[in-house]
C-alpha cells in the first residue's frame, strides 16, 4: 500500500491516484487544445469562403461603382451611339458591341461542325484506340496554347493568307479584320465545345442505341435520331460556354482585329471588340469619364459572360441529373 | 433494296464527313506548332536565355528578365491561390449541406467564366491604383484569381472521391477533426490537388491580358515585387506587335519557351494523375 492508500493497476503497472489525476488533467488540457484548434480550423474555412464570395461581389460592385460617371453622363445612349472619340469626350460603345457580337457568332458558326464532328468521333465512333488518343491530345494541346501565341501566329500566318484572299476577291487588302479574327477565335474555342460535346455524347445510354440498331438502323440514323436529340441540351451548353470564351477573348483578338473605333462596314473590315478596346486604351485613358466608359464596357462584359456561363453550367448539371 | 443502298451511302457519307472535320482540326494545331518551332529554334541559344533585352539594332538581346519574371509572377500567384483554393475545396466538401456552399459554388462558376481582361481591370483598380504604381504583386494577385477555380474544383473533386471510412478511422484513433483533415485526408488527396495546381500554373503561365494593367512589363531584371516586371507572354505581345524584325524573332523564341513550359506542366500533371492514383 502507498501513502494515499489507493492504487490502480493499468496494464501491468501500478498507478497512484495522484498520478492518475494529473494524467487526466493533462489529457483534458490536450482535448481543450484540440477543441480550440478545431474551432480555429472551421472558422478559417468559413472565413475563406466568405472572403471568396466577397471578392466576387466586390468585382461586380467595383465595376458598377466605377462606371457610374459614364452611366450618369450618357445613360442608354452609351449603347446606341456609334462614335467613340476620347478627344471630344464622346463615348458610344455600339461599334465594340457590334464587333464583339459579329466576331463571336461568326466563330461560333464555323466551330459547330468541327466540334460536333470531334464530339461524335470521340464519343461515338472511336471511344478508345490510337485515333481517339491522338485527337483527344490534339484538342487538349490546342486548349493549352496561350491566347497571345494564337495572336502572334495569326498575325504572321493567317493575316498574309487573308490578304491574298482579299486581293483575289478584289477587296482592300488589309489582312486584319473581323473575318481573320473569327477564324482565329474558332480555332481557340473548339476545345471548349468539343470536350463537353464528347462527354455528353458518350453519356447517351447504350440500350437506346442498341434498340435502334436492332430495328435495323444505320449508324447515321442512330446518331441523327437517338444520339443528337438525347445529347442536344448538353451540346448546346458546350456551345454556350464556348461563346462565353469567345466574347471575353482579348489578346489574340487585339492583335488581329485592326483596332478601328468605328462601326464595321463588312466582315472583312477592321473593327474593335469590347475586350480589345479595353486592352488598347485602359492604361492610356485620362479623365474620369474616359476611364469610367471603359470600365462600363468591362461591366457589360462581366455581366454577359457570367449569365452565359451560369446558364451553360446549369444546363450541364440538369443533363447530368437525367442520367 | 435500293432504299437500303441509299441509306448505306448516307451512312458512309456522314461517317467520312465526321472523320474529315475531326482530322482537319489537327491542321491548325500542327501549323501553329510547326511555325513556332521553325521560327523559334533559330533564335534559341544561351545568350537568348541568359541575356537582358537590348535596344533595337543591337544583336544578342535576350529575355532572361522575362523568364525570371514569369516564374516570379507564378510564385506570387501560387502563394496566394494554393492555400486559399485548398481551403475553399475543403469547405465545399465538408459543408455540403450548408446554404452558403451554394453561393461559394456559384462564385467558382462565375470566376471560371470571367474574362481575364476584366480581372486585370479589377487588379488595377484594387491594387495598382491604391499603391500608385504597376507592380509584380498586382500581377501575381490578378493571376491568383485566375488560378483559383481550377485549384478549388480539383481539390473538391479529389476529396469527394475519398471514402468516408478514411476519416472515420482517424476519428476512431482519437484524432481531432482538424488533424484528420490536414494529416489524413489531405495527404491522401495530394495527387489530385497537385495535378490541379499544375494545370492552374499552366493556365496562368500564358495569360497576358491581366498583366497589361498590372505587371506592365519592364526591360530590366527586377526581383522587387513592388515594381513593374516583365513576363514571357507580355514580351511576346510587345515584340510581336513591334515593327522590328529582330524583335519578331525574339518573340518566336519566347513563344517556343512558353509553349514548352506549358506542355511540360500539362504532361507531367497528367502523368502524376495516372501514376499516383490512389484507389480505394
The predicted-structure confidence for A280-306, as pLDDT tens digits, reads as follows: 999 888 888 899 999 999 999 999 999
Grid coordinates in use for B246? 529582330
* Best mutation target, B43, B118, B152, to test chain A (most A CBs within 10 A): B118
A62 and A79 within one domain: no
Q: Is residue A2 part of a domain?
A: no
Chain B hits for A114, CB-CB cut-off 8 Å, are: 21-22, 24-25
| Contact between chains at A298 and B117 (C-beta distance less than 8 A) | yes
Report the pLDDT value the prediction gives residue B244, as an integer from 0 to 100: 85
Q: Is residue B131 part of a domain?
A: yes
| Contact between chains at B205 and A44 (C-beta distance less than 8 A) | no
| Contact between chains at B236 and A149 (C-beta distance less than 8 A) | yes
CA–CA separation, A26 and B14 (whole Å): 76
Burial of A302 from C-beta contacts in 10 A (0-12 / 13-18 / 19+): buried
Residue of chain A whose alpha carbon sits nearest to that of B4: A218
Q: Which domain holds residue A43?
A: 7-66
Domain stops at, among A45, A66, A87 = A66
CA of A1 vs chain B CAs: smallest distance (Å): 34
| Contact between chains at A120 and B19 (C-beta distance less than 8 A) | no
CA–CA separation, B35 and B259 (whole Å): 12
Does the pLDDT value for residue B14 go beyond 90?
yes
Chain B hits for A309, CB-CB cut-off 8 Å, are: 109-110, 112-113
Residue range A212-233: mean pLDDT, rounded: 92
B22 and B79 within one domain: no
CA–CA separation, B126 and B146 (whole Å): 15
Q: Is residue B234 part of a domain?
A: yes
A148 and A77 within one domain: yes
A48 and A139 within one domain: no
A228 and A132 within one domain: yes
| Contact between chains at A52 and B84 (C-beta distance less than 8 A) | yes
| Contact between chains at B25 and A241 (C-beta distance less than 8 A) | no
Which of B:174-233 have CB within 8 Å of A?
176-179, 181-182, 202, 205-209, 212-213, 216, 233
A136 and A180 within one domain: yes
B173-191 pLDDT, tens digit per residue, is 988 999 999 999 999 888 8
Q: Is residue B142 part of a domain?
A: yes
Does the pLDDT value for residue B80 go beyond 50?
yes
Coil/strand/helix, residue B216: strand
Please name the member of B17, B32, B117 whose beta carbon is closest to the beta carbon of A275: B117
A214 and A150 within one domain: yes
Report the pLDDT value the prediction gives residue A9, as an integer from 0 to 100: 72
Q: Is residue B180 part of a domain?
A: yes
Domain stops at, among A27, A45, A66 = A66
A256 and A225 within one domain: yes
Going from the C-alpha of B61 to that of each of B64, B239, B248, B256, the distances in angstroms are 9, 12, 12, 16
B23 and B82 within one domain: no
Chain B hits for A241, CB-CB cut-off 8 Å, are: 113
The enclosing domain of B127 has a CATH number of 1.10.3720.10
CA of B58 vs chain A CAs: smallest distance (Å): 23
Q: Is residue A295 part of a domain?
A: yes
| Contact between chains at B110 and A218 (C-beta distance less than 8 A) | no
CA–CA separation, A316 and A311 (whole Å): 9
Grid coordinates in use for B90? 475543403
A56-114 pLDDT, tens digit per residue, is 999 999 999 999 989 888 888 888 888 888 888 888 889 999 999 999 999 999 999 99
Residue of chain A whose alpha carbon sits nearest to that of B174: A31
A86 and A55 within one domain: no
| Contact between chains at B110 and A301 (C-beta distance less than 8 A) | no
Task: Please tell me the total count of domains within chain A.
Answer: 2
B87 and B223 within one domain: yes
A194 and A47 within one domain: no
A150 and A55 within one domain: no
B109-149 pLDDT, tens digit per residue, is 999 999 999 999 999 999 998 988 899 999 999 999 999 99
A241 and A96 within one domain: yes
B165 and B126 within one domain: yes
Q: Give the least confident one: A121-125, A140-144, A259-263, A274-278.
A: A259-263
CB A139 within 8 A of CB B25: yes
B167 and B243 within one domain: yes
B217-270 pLDDT, tens digit per residue, is 888 777 888 888 889 999 999 999 888 888 888 899 999 999 999 999 999 888
- The H-or-E segment that residue B177 falls in is helix B177-179
Q: What HEC string does chain A produce?
A: CCCCCCEEEECCEEEEHHHHHHHHHHHHHHHHHHHHHHHHHHHHHHHHHHHHHHHHHHHHHHHHHHCHHHHHHHCCHHHHCCCEECCCCEECCHHHHHHHHHHHHHHHHHHHHHHHHHHHHHHHHCCCCHHHHHHHHHHHHHHHCCHHHHHHHHHHHHHHHHHHHHHHHCCCCCCCCHHHHHHHHHHHHHHHHHHHHHHHHHCCCHHHHHHHHHCCCCHHHHHHHHHHHHHHHHHHHHHHHHHHHHHHCCHHHHHHCECCCCCCCCCCCCECCHHHHHHHHCCCCCCHHHHHHHHHHHHHHHHHHHHHHHHHHHHHHHHHHCC
Q: Is residue B161 part of a domain?
A: yes
B16-68 pLDDT, tens digit per residue, is 999 999 888 889 999 999 999 998 888 888 777 877 777 766 666 778 889 99
Going from the C-alpha of B203 to that of each of A18, B116, B169, B198, B262, the distances in angstroms are 62, 11, 37, 9, 8
B58 and B11 within one domain: no
Helix axes B26-41 and A130-144, enclosed angle (nearest 10): 60
A31-65 pLDDT, tens digit per residue, is 898 899 999 999 999 999 999 999 999 999 999 99
Please name the member of B84, B115, B240 whose beta carbon is closest to the beta carbon of A305: B115
Domain stops at, among A16, A49, A66 = A66
Identify which has the larger pLDDT, B44 or A121.
A121
Grid coordinates in use for B24? 482537319
Report the pLDDT value the prediction gives residue A303, as an integer from 0 to 100: 95
| Contact between chains at A125 and B266 (C-beta distance less than 8 A) | no
**Residue among B81, B238, B262 at smallest CA distance from B155:** B81
B146 and B30 within one domain: no
CA of B223 vs chain A CAs: smallest distance (Å): 23
Q: Which domain holds residue B21?
A: 2-41
Q: Is residue B27 part of a domain?
A: yes
Residue range A186-201: mean pLDDT, rounded: 92
Identify which has the larger pLDDT, B62 or B83.
B83
Report the pLDDT value the prediction gives residue B50, as an integer from 0 to 100: 79
Chain A hits for B31, CB-CB cut-off 8 Å, are: 153, 157
Query: Mean of the per-residue pLDDT values for chain A?
Result: 89
CB B140 within 8 A of CB B73: yes
Q: Is residue A150 part of a domain?
A: yes
Task: Please tell me the total count of domains within chain B.
Answer: 2
Chain B hits for A134, CB-CB cut-off 8 Å, are: 26
B102 and B35 within one domain: no
Report the pLDDT value the prediction gives residue A323, as an integer from 0 to 100: 65
Q: Is residue B183 part of a domain?
A: yes
| Contact between chains at B116 and A145 (C-beta distance less than 8 A) | no
- The H-or-E segment that residue B72 falls in is helix B64-94
B36 and B167 within one domain: no
CA–CA separation, A22 and A42 (whole Å): 30
Please name the member of B21, B113, B118 whose beta carbon is closest to the beta carbon of A244: B113
B98 and B70 within one domain: yes
Instruction: Report the residue count for chain B.
Output: 280
Q: Is residue A1 part of a domain?
A: no
Burial of B153 from C-beta contacts in 10 A (0-12 / 13-18 / 19+): buried
Residue A2 — pLDDT band, cuts 50, 70, 90? very low
B60 and B23 within one domain: no
B14 and B89 within one domain: no
Residue B206: count other Cβ atoms within 10 Å of its Cβ: 24
Report the pLDDT value the prediction gives residue A309, as an integer from 0 to 100: 93
CA–CA separation, B225 and B153 (whole Å): 29
Residue A206: count other Cβ atoms within 10 Å of its Cβ: 8
Grid coordinates in use for A266? 463588312
Going from the C-alpha of A259 to that of each of A54, A262, A277, A286, B33, the distances in angstroms are 35, 9, 7, 19, 27
Chain B hits for A146, CB-CB cut-off 8 Å, are: 205-208, 233, 258-259, 262
CA atoms within a 13 Å half-sphere pointing along the CA-CB vector of A186: 23
Please name the member of A55, A145, A251 whose beta carbon is closest to the beta carbon of B32: A145
Please name the member of B15, B114, B178 whose beta carbon is closest to the beta carbon of A219: B15
Residue A91: strand pairing partners:
A84
DSSP annotation of B18 reads: H
Q: Is residue B280 part of a domain?
A: no
Does the pLDDT value for residue B277 go beyond 70?
no
Report the pLDDT value the prediction gives residue A86, as an integer from 0 to 100: 83
CB B185 within 8 A of CB B159: yes
CB A134 within 8 A of CB A118: no
A295 and A239 within one domain: yes
Chain B hits for A284, CB-CB cut-off 8 Å, are: none
Amino acid at each position: 500500500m502507498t501513502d494515499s492508500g489507493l492504487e490502480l493497476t493499468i496494464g501491468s503497472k501500478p498507478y497512484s491516484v495522484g498520478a492518475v489525476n494529473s494524467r487526466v488533467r493533462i489529457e483534458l488540457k490536450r482535448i481543450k487544445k484540440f477543441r480550440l484548434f478545431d474551432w480555429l480550423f472551421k472558422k478559417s474555412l468559413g472565413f475563406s469562403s466568405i472572403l471568396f464570395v466577397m471578392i466576387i461581389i466586390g468585382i461586380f460592385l467595383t465595376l458598377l461603382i466605377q462606371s457610374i460617371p459614364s452611366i450618369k453622363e450618357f445613360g442608354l445612349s452609351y449603347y446606341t451611339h456609334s462614335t467613340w472619340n476620347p478627344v471630344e469626350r464622346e463615348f458610344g460603345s455600339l461599334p465594340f458591341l457590334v464587333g464583339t457580337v459579329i466576331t463571336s457568332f461568326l466563330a461560333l458558326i464555323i466551330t459547330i461542325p468541327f466540334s460536333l464532328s470531334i464530339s461524335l468521333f470521340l464519343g461515338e465512333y472511336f471511344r478508345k484506340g490510337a485515333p481517339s488518343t491522338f485527337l483527344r491530345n490534339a484538342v487538349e494541346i490546342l486548349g493549352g496554347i496561350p491566347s497571345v501565341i494564337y495572336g502572334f501566329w495569326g498575325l504572321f500566318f493567317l493575316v498574309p493568307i487573308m490578304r491574298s484572299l482579299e486581293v483575289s476577291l478584289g477587296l482592300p487588302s488589309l489582312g486584319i479584320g473581323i473575318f481573320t479574327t473569327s477564324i482565329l477565335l474558332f480555332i481557340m474555342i473548339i476545345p471548349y465545345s468539343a470536350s463537353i460535346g464528347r462527354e455528353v455524347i458518350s453519356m447517351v445510354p447504350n440500350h437506346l442505341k442498341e434498340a435502334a440498331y436492332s430495328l435495323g438502323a444505320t449508324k447515321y440514323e442512330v446518331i441523327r435520331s437517338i444520339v443528337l436529340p438525347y445529347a442536344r441540351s448538353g451540346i448546346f451548353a458546350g456551345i454556350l460556354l464556348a461563346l462565353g470564351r469567345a466574347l471575353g477573348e482579348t489578346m489574340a483578338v487585339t492583335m488581329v482585329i485592326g483596332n478601328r473605333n468605328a462601326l464595321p462596314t463588312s466582315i472583312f473590315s477592321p473593327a474593335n471588340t469590347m475586350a480589345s478596346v479595353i486592352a488598347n486604351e485602359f492604361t492610356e485613358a485620362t479623365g474620369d469619364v474616359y476611364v469610367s466608359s471603359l470600365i462600363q464596357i468591362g461591366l457589360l462584359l462581366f455581366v454577359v459572360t457570367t449569365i452565359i456561363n451560369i446558364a451553360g453550367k446549369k444546363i450541364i448539371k440538369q443533363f447530368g441529373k437525367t442520367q | 433494296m435500293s432504299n437500303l443502298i441509299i441509306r448505306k451511302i448516307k451512312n458512309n457519307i456522314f461517317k467520312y464527313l465526321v472523320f474529315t472535320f475531326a482530322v482537319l482540326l489537327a491542321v491548325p494545331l500542327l501549323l501553329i506548332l510547326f511555325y513556332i518551332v521553325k521560327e523559334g529554334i533559330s533564335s534559341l541559344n544561351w545568350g537568348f536565355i541568359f541575356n537582358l533585352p537590348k535596344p533595337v539594332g543591337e544583336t544578342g538581346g535576350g529575355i532572361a528578365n522575362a523568364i525570371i519574371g514569369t516564374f516570379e509572377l507564378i510564385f506570387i500567384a501560387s502563394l496566394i491561390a494554393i492555400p486559399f483554393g485548398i481551403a475553399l475545396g475543403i469547405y465545399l466538401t465538408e459543408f455540403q449541406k450548408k446554404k452558403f456552399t451554394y453561393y461559394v459554388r456559384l462564385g467558382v462558376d462565375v470566376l471560371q467564366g470571367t474574362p481575364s481582361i476584366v480581372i486585370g481591370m479589377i487588379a488595377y483598380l484594387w491594387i495598382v491604383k491604391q499603391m500608385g504604381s504597376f507592380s509584380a504583386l498586382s500581377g501575381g494577385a490578378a493571376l491568383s484569381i485566375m488560378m483559383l477555380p481550377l485549384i478549388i474544383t480539383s481539390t473538391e473533386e479529389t476529396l469527394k472521391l475519398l471514402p468516408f471510412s478514411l476519416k472515420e478511422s482517424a476519428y476512431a484513433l482519437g484524432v481531432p477533426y482538424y488533424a484528420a483533415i490536414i494529416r489524413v485526408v489531405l495527404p491522401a488527396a495530394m495527387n489530385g490537388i497537385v495535378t490541379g495546381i499544375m494545370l492552374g500554373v499552366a493556365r496562368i503561365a500564358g495569360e497576358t491580358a491581366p498583366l497589361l494593367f498590372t505587371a506592365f512589363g519592364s526591360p530590366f531584371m527586377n526581383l522587387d515585387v513592388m515594381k513593374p516586371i516583365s513576363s514571357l507572354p507580355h514580351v511576346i505581345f510587345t515584340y510581336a506587335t513591334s515593327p522590328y524584325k529582330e524583335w519578331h524573332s525574339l518573340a518566336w523564341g519566347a513563344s517556343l519557351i512558353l509553349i514548352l513550359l506549358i506542355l511540360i506542366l500539362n504532361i507531367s500533371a497528367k502523368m502524376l494523375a495516372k501514376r499516383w492514383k490512389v484507389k480505394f
